[in-house]
Every structure is written in C-alpha cells, then in structure tokens.
Chain A
Amino acid sequence: MNEISNKWIGKNTVRPDGAEKVTGRAQYSSDTTMPGMIWGHVLRSPHPHAKIISINTKKAEALAGVKSVITSKDIVDFPLDTPVILGIQDMRWMCRNVMARDKVLFHGHPLAAVAATTEAIAEKACDLIEVEYEILPWAIDIEDAIKDDAPILHDHIQFNGKPSNIAGTLEHKKGDIEEGFAKADVIIEKHFKTEAVHQGYLETHSCLVSVAADGRATIWSSSQGQFMVRAMTSFLTGIPQSNIRAIPAEIGGGFGGKTIVYLEPLATVLSQKTGRPVKIVMNREDTMRASGPTSGSKSTIKIGATNDGKIVAAQGIYYLQAGAFPGSPIRGAAGCSLAPYDIPNAHTFGYDVVSNRSKVAAYRAPGAPIGAYGVECVLDEIAEALKMCPLELRKINAAKEGTKAVHGPVFPKMGYIETLDAAINHPHYKAPLGKHQGRGVASGFWFNAGGESSAQLNITEDGNVVVTTGHPDIGGSRASIANITAELLGIHHDRVSVLIGDTATIGYSNLTGGSRVLFASAMVVTESAQIVINQLKQRAAKIWGIDEDAIEWENGEARPAGDNAGKFAPLTLAEIADKATATGGPIGAGYQVNTEGAEGGFATHICDVEVDMDLGIVRVKRYTSIQDVGKAIHPDYVEGQLQGGCAQGIGWALSEEYIYNKDGHLDNTGFLDYRMPVCSDLPMLDTVIIEVPNPKHPQGVRGVGEVPLVPPLAAISNAVYQAIGKRSYSLPMSPPKVLKIIEGN
C-alpha cells in the first residue's frame, strides 16, 4: 500500500451526480430522444411453454404507421452445439432469450417486435400479429422440473444420459465428509426453500438505437456495462463491434440485473431496417415478467460439530432455478456458503435447473444469499444444541489468513474475525429485547472480482482534472475516484471531474458487477495519476531548467528538492498547466490493465425482529451490519451500500416472491403485489465499517456492494425463531406462513 495522507480518502465529499439527479436533469436512457425517432414494441408469449407453429406479420405490417416487424429470423442464430461465451452469458441462450426460436419458454418471452411512428401504433400492431401455438405442458417450480416425467424445455440437454431440465452441476470438495461426520457429537440436517426475487430497480429497461446510413450504430441505454451492450448487440445483430458505439446513460438501479441485454439488439435491427432511430421502453409488467429475477431454490444443509464447537464436516446440496435457459448462479451458492469457516471436511454441490420462468440475471452476490441462508440457519441450530453463543461458534471456526477455502483459494489477510468481534462487542448484541422480539445473527462471504479497466486522466488548460473511466456508476464510483485522484495529486476534491466514457472514448472496461468497479478503476486511476505526476515534474524541470529527479510533487505543487530545495518558488498544478503548450503540449495519461488481486469480503449481521403473534407479521426493529470493506474511500457511499443490501435482504426474507398462477403466468407484476419493503417497513439500518486493507490494492480496497445481501436471510430467520420459538425453513416469511408456524400447523 502507498503511504497516503488521507486528506480526501475517507471523506464524505459531495457526490458529483447529486445536483443533476435531485433537480431531474440527469439523463436516463428513456430521456434520450432524436429527430425522426420511431417507437418499438415487443410481442410477448401468452403461454409458459409452447411450440411456435407459425407467425404471420402481414396484418401488422399493413397497419398505417408501422415501419418494420421483426422475428427471430432477424436475430443471429447460435447453434445449440457450440457454446459462445461472453462473461457469464452464452450467446446460444441470449439469442433465444431476446427472441424466441421454435418454442416460447415462459410467459412474456419475446417473439416479435414492431417499429412504428408512435408507441400506441406499435402496440396495436403487436396485437395484429397472428401466432399459431402448440401449447406444451410446463414446469414452473424446481420439484416439477426435475420429476421423471417433467416436460423438457430443451431436448438437447441431458443429465444422467437422458433429456433433463438439469442443465449443469458444480461441486466443491475438501477432506472426507463421511469421516468428518463420524467424529461429530451433533449433526443437524435441514431442508430450505427460497422463492425467485427481482432486483427491483426503479428504472425499467429502455434504449434508443440509431443505425446511420453508413451502417454504424449508436446505442444509448442504461446498463451496467456499455462494452457488454456493444459486444452482445454485435453478436446478436452481426454488426461488427467496431461499428457500434454504446453510450451509457445514468442508471436508475441495476443490482446485477443490467449486466445483460433485452432490447438493444431488437432496437438495432429495427433501426437498421427502417433507417430511423428506434426507441423501446419496457413497462414494469414486462420488466417483472421477462427481465431477470434471481433464482428460487431448494437446498439441504448438513453440518456436524464436536461438543467443543468445532465444525468437523459440512455438506450443502443446492438446486437453483435458472429460468428458461441454463445459467443459474450455483457457483455463488456452492462456493460462498462455507467460505467464512475453516472446515476440514466439506462438500457442496449445485444443480442448475431450467423451468418455464424468465431467465435469471445476476443479483447482488448471485447465489451467495441462497447458499448462506441454509448454512447460517443450521449453524444457529448447532449453537443452540451446544448451548453456545452463535457468534462464539462462528469465531471458533472462522476462516483467517492462510485458511484454505472449500472453494479452493487460500485466504490472504482479511477481516472476518474482526466482524465477529465487533458484533460481540456491539451494544446492539447486548441490548434487552421486548415481548415477542428475537435477535438473530448470520455471516456471509462474497468473492469480489477484478478484471479489465481503463482510465484516462487529463489536466485541463485551467489546471483542473478530468478523469474518465469505463464503468457505469451504480454505487458511488465517481465520488470515490474523485477522492482518490484528489488525494494522489494533492489538490482539492472540487477540482476533479469524473466521467463515464462510452465505448468509443475510453478503453475496454469490463462491466460494473462483482463489486469490482472501485477496486479495478482505482488501480488504473492510480497508475494514470502516477504518470501524470511524472509529466508535471518534467514540465516544472523544463521551466526551472533543472533535472526532473530534483523535483518532488507535494500538496498539489512541484517543489525543487535536494540541492535545489528553496531555489525556486513552487509551481502549482494550475501554473504548470498554463505553460503546457510551451513545455511540450497537453498533459494527461491513460492506463489500462486486467486487474488482479480482488479479495473476498466478509460481513456479520445482527437483526432484531418483533412478531405480531396473532397476525404473523414480522417487523424488523433493529439491524446492524458489520463488514470488512478493506478501505472506505467514501464512507457515506459504503454505508449506503451496506444499508441497501440489508433492505433488499429484508424484502427477500419477509415479503418478496415471484408468484405464479395455475396457468403458469407471473401473478404479481407490479410493486403493489410484489412487495419490496417501503421506507416505513425498515428501521434505521446501522452499519459498522471494518477496515482490514486488501494487501493487493494501492488503497486497500475490497469490493463492498454485494456482501451486504448475503447474511440477512439467515439473520432474520434466526431472529424470528428467537421471537416465536419455532423455525421457518422457507422464504419469504410472509404473515400467513408465520402464523401457521406459530399455530403449529
């Protein structure tokens, strides 16, 4: 780590996007408009599973105002036998998800799109498209999808030698679990169930695409990665990447759900065909029906421990819904669930199960909350059986520097135990509880990621700084990068502007996800700043006519050092910038690298609930999340990430769920019946920031954004148990379900 003065790092500076957002001027993707623009609308399947016998678009095309109608024939086909991987997606599934081929696989699956002069005409034209279906039996839940006689979604997918909806598996093994369980004094095995939940971003998907007469496409859209948008659109339309420019808009929430495209390829093809800019905006209903939730799951967790509290063996078997196409986050469930613990014998196994639901997309630590839910609940039961404090039990078994994790790596220095100590010593943990109140704890881990990042740091003519990076800012990266740049250059934070470049103005940058953005972009910005500081020293050397080695950069100015110390008055950044033309030209530098050294993050949460014993309503009364964040570059934003994750976890645990009706249709496509918590449902969500710097990062940064969603499901479940004396093994703990548990039915 660099020695740093911490004048700006760790300060709650004013967020650069704040004024525009609170005054309604920030440009989100649906704010974008162009002369000559027309509107697209998507026709979606009314059935959960059906063969498409024919699609007749003639009547739609004949409607006045309609400019083009497209179907899967207009989207590049990727044959089923050849995987084409881009990030966590496979183009075989992507091409079929954005536009159904041969079969529709979920209610809401797109199968045609129209461009017309108005939104209303495009919508009416969709009604005029005649589709002949052969309706097939469907499977929505995991149990139904893995039955022997289950309707098969994809004939080519085989498991144990026959067609199956189990599309893949993943396994981690350490030691010998049979041997481990034989040594256990107490063994607890339980079954758990969770429902699919949506990321719940307020801004629905939308885009505007203009394909010009020369064939070059410009895409304005809200996503977590303009380069991802460019690459996927290129794959799915056949337009070369270099002929596509993707411009990121401000983003109204993503949480992982905007690491994928739905509309951009369709709007691109429609624009290509009509020669007009095409805009498509998804409404809330379509967003709920057809954009990714995260998986529902069923799992079995078995843990054995000796009487002194040492875990000797653990096993986790996970089935995760993938939706209509393979790719559920089994890695997050099987990989993260046991990571906080040093367990000699462990085995985790994940099944990727397809069913007639919308394809899942990433959601904050994908799979890890599901993994931690069962493990952290069973640990609570082990602690109870051993009459131990649940935090002490975790401490006895805590992973630390040098522990080999079940999923493979050996941990470097990290702060899990610090979160446990902070929880044990927190006033919350000792506070008295009222009637029908209970307290639960749980821990959680997320991998965090590195990957490609690019930055450009330019000194303006008037001596200020503009930094451009390539990652949409969904959690405070611009404010944090401004802090770091100000720190490194020794100037006031106000003098740094941070922008998000588009695919043509900044080098390739991997998408915003995996809690990677600040980790990675801080690294390339740090390197860029070092280069720029050297340039500034060179310019000062030229002005003074001395050797550049005899100059140091301090507090935003060049100072003569060594033998020359005191011989010249220091030159400020502004003074050097003013003479830039005479001393060699513009000052600025960029840096690009595939970053490595992202280390995992750990958290421990404490939750108090109160249960209405007559109505089964659970209310969270107090919540404290404690997390090792490496280094909090902008503490308010870090706190916001922790609170946001907890709020989403409270929703997942208590009230959010995808509800399908008997026809295989999603029955709660709006926020009235898809119950995300509202402000009054939540107490103040307290946070404790632990800083055990990541030794592999110049500022010590660890990813922050995803870990906070890992512990809440179990922390809340364990608290409900303490309040009512009975355990729930399924989520959400909705009032009817909780009342049934209380009444013992």
Chain B
Amino acid sequence: MSETQYLAAKTIDEAVTAHSKANGSARFLAGGTDLLVQIKSGIKKPKLVIDIKKIVELNTIKEVSDNEFVVGASVSGANLNRNNKFTKLWPGVIEAFRLIGSEQIQGRASLGGNLCNGSPAGDSVPALIAAGCIAIIAGPDGKKEIPIENFHKGPGKTVLENGEMLVSLKFPKREINSSDAYLRMTPRTEMDIAVVGCGVNITLENNVCTAARVSLGAVAPTPLLIKDASDIMIGTDLNSDILDKVANLCIKACNPINDKRGTIDYRTKVAGVLLKRSVLIAIDRIKGN
C-alpha cells in the first residue's frame, strides 16, 4: 500500500514542474475515467496524481479565429457537446467522442485523456487524426506541437516524456464544404470498445474531393493515418469504384491482432466496410442531407 499524493495544479507551470520532479512516478488526472480505474485495479500505482482540471487553459474551448478551435485537454465530453458551433463544424469528432462511455462518463471523460491513455482503440483518436488536429504539449523546455497521427508510439505509449503534458488540441480552420464522420464496429450498440474504428474528413468542391484524410483505430498498435488511401480520393468524385480502391488500401494498411475482441480476418474486412460507410456519411453531411 504505497501512499498516493494528490495535487490540484492551478497553472501549467506548476503541473509540469511537479510531474518533472516526480521522475516518472506521477500521472496527470483529467476526468479520471481511465486513470482511476487503472489505479483501482492495480495496473497503475502512481506516487503523485496531478489534477489538471483547475488549470483554466486546459478546461477552455476557444474559437481563436473564425471557425478555428482550440480545445483544452481536460474539457469534458458533455461540455464540448454543448458547444453548438464546434459540434456543427466537427460532427465526426463529436460522434466519436460521444461514443466514449455512458452519459455519466461523458460528464468527466476528456478528448485529451482519451488521447493520452494511448489505447489503439480509443474512439476519439481516429476522428482527431482525420480532422488534422494538432496536440499542443507543454514541458520543461516550453511548448511544442505534434500532429495527432504522430502522438502514439504503441499500446499505452505516447510521445509524452517526463514533465510533458498535453495542454490542448488545435483544430485546423474549418473550410466550407467540409465534413467528417466516425464509425466504429462494436458487438453492442453502446458501452463497448471499438473492434475497428474509422474516421474520415473530406472537402468537396463541385462534387470533386479536394481534401481527404482517413484514419483507422484498433487495427494496429497505434491509430493510423492512411495516407495513400486519403491521397487517391483527391481529385475524384468518390464514386463506388474509387471507394472500393480506398477500402482496399485501408485493408492493406491493417495490422491487427487476434484477441477476444476480434480476429485479424474480421477486423481487416470491417475496416473496408466502415471506410465506405463513413465517407458516404461525410458526403451527406456536406450536401446537407
């Protein structure tokens, strides 16, 4: 029974300094929906828990310029969901985030926490990658920015080093005629974990795709940006032949495991199916259907 200290940091500096000093034995606490469960079940035994919800910047949703958002790392799902403009611009991110846990969990869980937990199956991560979102990180040497697709190193592992903390998520300025979508496969309709997750984000001009990003979760040790699949969509009208090709590239990019949640064969097939379905949803959203 090691004792755990609790610190409610008021500033980024205070949090980062405390974490740095703890030399790897500290954990940041946002909503706690992963961390507290891990502590209770004995998977993680931090000596110091640093609560970051009281740091204003981390708990703020900011529209820095028109249609350009920065979301603090500990903003809860319920709060983000109440921001009408953000939900309108990023319906795919919101629908992914909304899938995390129940209504009660939504009151606590944060986008930042979902990202830092490092699960290959984290629901919001493929949507964030597809969105082209950037992680803003504070550390002993100041702030730095990392695209979300480079944030994960492996299951449970991120680029964050001792003393580094995720501060916020910077979304690109939203172009008109753009939308996103996220679909996941789970055996249950709710309260489940993704067997495969797929996020897409596209821009259409006169029915021609001018920008596209496709991301898959739970099919590899980290969530993936499928660059080649994204690229071949650009300049096309996203007809069913193109989507078949995109789906095949997604299937090729899969490197899943066999486990109790799904087989390699099944996960790979599902990735292709979800890709096609989520692109169609994003197109519908752009067309206002």
CB distance from B251 to the nearest CB of A (A): 13
Any chain B CB within 8 A of the CB of A735?
yes
Q: Is B1 part of the contact surface with A, judged by Cβ < 8 Å? A: yes
Instruction: Judge whether B44 is part of the interface by a CB distance below 8 angstroms.
Output: no
Contacts A120-B1, A124-B1, A615-B270 known; A675 to B188 CB distance under 8 Å?
A: yes
CA separation between A671 and B1, bound complex, in Å? Answer: 27
Task: Tell me, in angstroms, the Cα distance from A667 to B191 when the chains sit together.
Answer: 18
* Bound CA span A739–B268, Å: 12
Q: Is the CB of B260 within 8 A of A667?
A: yes
Bound together, the chains give a CA A294 to CA B80 distance in angstroms of 44
* CA of A173 to CA of B234, assembled, Å: 71
**Highest count of chain A CB atoms <10 Å: which of B188, B262, B266, B273:** B188
> Which residue on chain B has the smallest CB distance to residue A739?
B266
Interface size counted on chain B using CB atoms at 8 A: 19
Select A615's contact among B189, B190, B192, B273, beta carbons within 8 Å.
Answer: B273
Cβ-neighbour of B191 out of A615, A678, A736 (below 8 A): A678
Contact A678 B266 (CB under 8 A): no
Q: Does B257 contact A (CB under 8 A)?
A: no
Answer whether residue B269 sits at the interface, using C-beta atoms and an 8 A cutoff: yes
Residues of B near A617 (CB, < 8 A) are 185, 187
| A614-B273, A736-B262, A736-B266 known; A655 vs B187 contact (CB < 8 Å) | yes
Q: Enumerate B235-285 residues with CB–CB distance to A below 8 Å.
A: 260-263, 265-266, 269-270, 273
Q: What A residues does B260 contact at CB under 8 A?
A: 659, 661, 667-668, 673
B187 touches A675 (CB 8 A): yes
In the complex, residue of chain A having the shortest beta-carbon distance to the beta carbon of B185: A615
Structural contact, A739 and B269, CB atoms closer than 8 A: yes
Do the beta carbons of A680 and B1 come within 8 Å of each other? no
Partner among B185, B190, B265, B266 whose Cβ is within 8 Å of the Cβ of A680: B190
The interface residues of chain B lying within 8 Å CB-to-CB of A673 are 193, 260-261
Considering the chains assembled together, what is the distance between the CA atoms of A120 and B190 in angstroms? 33
Within 8 A of B (CB), among A649-680: 654-655, 659, 661, 667-668, 671-673, 675, 677-680
Q: Which of B187, B189, B193 interacts with A735 by CB under 8 Å?
A: B187
Which residue on chain A has the smallest CB distance to residue B41? A285
- Residues of B contacting A615 with CB < 8 Å? 185, 270, 273
The verdict on A678 contacting B190 (CB below 8 Å), with A120-B1, A673-B260 known, is: yes
Report Cα–Cα, A654/B188, bound state, in Å: 10
Contact partner of B193 among A672, A678, A680, CB < 8 A? A672
Interface pair B188/A677, CB less than 8 Å apart: yes
With A124-B1, A614-B273, A667-B260 as contacts: A655 and B266 at CB distance below 8 Å: no
Shortest C-beta distance, A119 to chain B (Å), equals 10
> Judging by beta carbons under 8 Å apart, are B263 and A675 in contact?
no
**Which residues from A are CB-within-8-Å of B189?**
619, 678, 680-681
Q: How far is A584 from B189 in the complex, measured between Cα atoms in Å?
A: 65
Is A734 an interface position by the 8 A CB rule? yes
Contact B266 A675 (CB under 8 A): no
Residue of B nearest to A659 (CB): B260
With A120-B1, A675-B192 in contact, do A734 and B273 touch (Cβ < 8 Å)?
A: no
Q: With a CB–CB cut-off of 8 A, which chain A residues contact B191?
A: 671-672, 678
Kindly provide the distance from the CB of B244 to the nearest chain A CB, expressed in whole angstroms. Answer: 13
> Complex Cα distance A439/B20, Å?
62
Within 8 A of A (CB), among B168-215: 185, 187-193, 195
Q: Which residues of A contact B193 (CB under 8 A)?
A: 672-673
Of residues 602 through 655 on chain A, the ones whose CB sits less than 8 Å from some CB of chain B are 614-617, 619, 654-655
Give the complex CA separation of A675 and B195 in angstroms: 13
A-side contacts of B265, CB under 8 Å? 736
The interface residues of chain A, by DSSP majority, are classed as: loop
Q: Are B185 and A681 touching (Cβ within 8 A)? A: no
**In whole angstroms, how far apart are the Cα atoms of A619 and B189 in the complex?**
9
On whether the beta carbons of A672 and B185 are closer than 8 Å, the reply is: no
Cβ B188 vs Cβ A678 within 8 A? yes
| Residues of chain B lying within 8 A (CB to CB) of residue A681 | 188-190
* A412-B266 Cα distance, complex, nearest whole Å: 51
Q: In the complex, how many angstroms separate the beta carbon of B274 from the nearest chain A beta carbon?
A: 8
A671, closest chain B residue (CB): B191
Beta-carbon contacts of B51-83 to A below 8 Å, as 1s and 0s? 000000000000000000000000000000000
Q: How far is the CB of A296 from chain B (nearest CB, A)?
A: 16
What's the least CB distance linking A672 to chain B, in Å?
A: 6
Closest chain A residue to B261 by CB distance?
A673
Distance in angstroms from A288 CB to nearest chain B CB is 13
Q: Which residue of B lies closest to A283 (CB)?
A: B41
Interface pair B192/A736, CB less than 8 Å apart: no
Whole-angstrom distance between the Cβ of B122 and the nearest chain A Cβ: 14
**Chain A's nearest CB lies how many Å from the CB of B150?**
28
Q: What residues of B have a CB within 8 angstroms of the CB of A735 in the complex?
A: 185, 187, 195, 266
CA distance A661 to B258 in the complex (A): 12
User: B1: which A residues are within 8 A, CB to CB?
Assistant: 120-121, 124
B190 nearest CB across to chain A (Å): 5
Q: Which residues of A contact B270 (CB under 8 A)?
A: 615
Given contacts A124-B1, A736-B266, A739-B266, contact A655 B273 (CB under 8 A): no
Assembly CA distance A654 to B187 (angstroms): 9
Q: Which residues of A contact B188 (CB under 8 A)?
A: 655, 675, 677-678, 680-681
Q: Enumerate chain B residues within 8 angstroms of A680, measured Cβ to Cβ.
A: 188-190
Of chain A, the residue at the smallest CB distance from B277 is A614
Q: Are B262 and A672 closer than 8 Å at their CB atoms? A: no
Cβ–Cβ < 8 Å partners of B195 in chain A: 735
Nearest CB to that of A124 among chain B residues? Answer: B1
Decide: B187 and A734 in contact? CB cutoff 8 A.
Answer: yes
Q: When chains A and B are docked, how far (Å) is the Cα of A680 from the Cα of B193?
A: 15
Chain B nearest CB from A44 CB (Å) reads 15
CB neighbours (8 Å) of A619 from chain B are: 189
Residue ID in chain A nearest B262 by CB atoms: A736
Q: Nearest A residue to B195 by beta-carbon distance?
A: A735
Separation of A384 and B192 alpha carbons in the complex (Å): 37
* Complex alpha-carbon distance, A735 and B192, angstroms: 14
A677 to B186, CA, bound (A): 12
- Report which residue of B187, B192, B266, B270 has the largest number of chain A beta carbons within 10 angstroms of its beta carbon: B187
Name which residue of chain B comes closest to A651, CB basis: B188
CB distance from A214 to the nearest CB of B (A): 36
Contacts of A672 in B (CB 8 A): 191-193
Within 8 A of A (CB), among B138-175: none
Instruction: Specify which of A661, A668, A677, A736 lies most central, judged by the most chain B CB atoms within 10 Å of its CB.
Output: A736
How far apart are the CA atoms of A736 and B265 in the complex, in Å? Answer: 9
In the complex, what distance in Å separates the CA atom of A143 from the CA atom of B7?
55
Report the bound CA distance from A673 to B270 in whole Å: 19
Q: List residues of chain A with CB within 8 A of the CB of B269.
A: 614, 739
Chain A nearest CB from B127 CB (Å) reads: 19
Taking the closest CB of chain B, its distance from the CB of A609, in whole angstroms, is: 14
Chain B neighbourhood of A667, CB < 8 A:
260
- Kindly state the separation between the CA atoms of A121 and B266 in the bound complex, as whole angstroms: 45
- How many Å from the CB of B117 to the closest CB on chain A? 14
Known A673-B261, A680-B188, A734-B187; further 17 A-B contacts with Cβ < 8 A: A121-B1, A124-B1, A614-B269, A615-B185, A617-B185, A617-B187, A659-B260, A672-B191, A673-B193, A673-B260, A677-B188, A678-B190, A678-B191, A680-B189, A680-B190, A736-B265, A739-B266
The 6 A-B residue pairs with the shortest CB-CB distance, nearest first, are A736-B266, A680-B189, A614-B273, A659-B260, A680-B190, A678-B191
User: Can you name 8 A-B residue pairings with CB atoms under 8 Å?
Assistant: A614-B269, A615-B270, A659-B260, A668-B260, A673-B261, A675-B192, A678-B188, A736-B263
